[in-house]
Amino acid sequence: MTIKQCFSSFATVAVLLSVSAFAKDSNSGTFMLSDPVQVGSTELKPGNYKVEWNGPPNDVRVEIMQHGKTVATIGGKIEELQQPAPYSAVITKPGDNGMDNMKKLSEIEFNKRSEALMIGG
């Protein structure tokens, strides 16, 4: 194999690896909580989290991780925004019990991305 062929093969592998890494990143994001929220039956405490999702846009499996460990898994869906989000945002809604102060995680928007992750049903 000549040096030119070797370099060409290496460049092809590098491009394929970077494309697959980019595809993985498009199904993930990070967010920060300043208050506790509920996701399914799990309480997420304030802090930084990573979220990954897989599946068709109308039925994704969402994994929320902190410090490399999965802390919550729930269903969700991807919704297209009319324009990219100007910043990352976490949207909550009131808990099931009106007197309960615990809010539920409802939606995550990611900085400069035109898709939002809707949590739960």
Contact present, 93 and 78 (Cβ < 8 Å): no
User: HEC states along 53-116?
Assistant: EECCCCCEEEEEEECCEEEEEEEEEEEECCCCCCCCEEEEECCCCCCCCCEEEEEEECCCCCEE
Pairwise CA distance, residues 17 & 103, whole Å: 40
Tell me, yes or no, whether 102 lies in a domain. yes
76: domain range?
A: 28-119
pLDDT digits (tens, 9 = 90+) for 27-84: 999 999 999 999 998 999 999 999 999 999 999 999 999 999 999 999 999 999 999 9
Domain count within the chain? 1
Tell me, yes or no, whether 46 lies in a domain. yes
Tell me, yes or no, whether 6 lies in a domain. no
Tell me, yes or no, whether 103 lies in a domain. yes
pLDDT digits (tens, 9 = 90+) for 70-90: 999 999 999 999 999 999 999
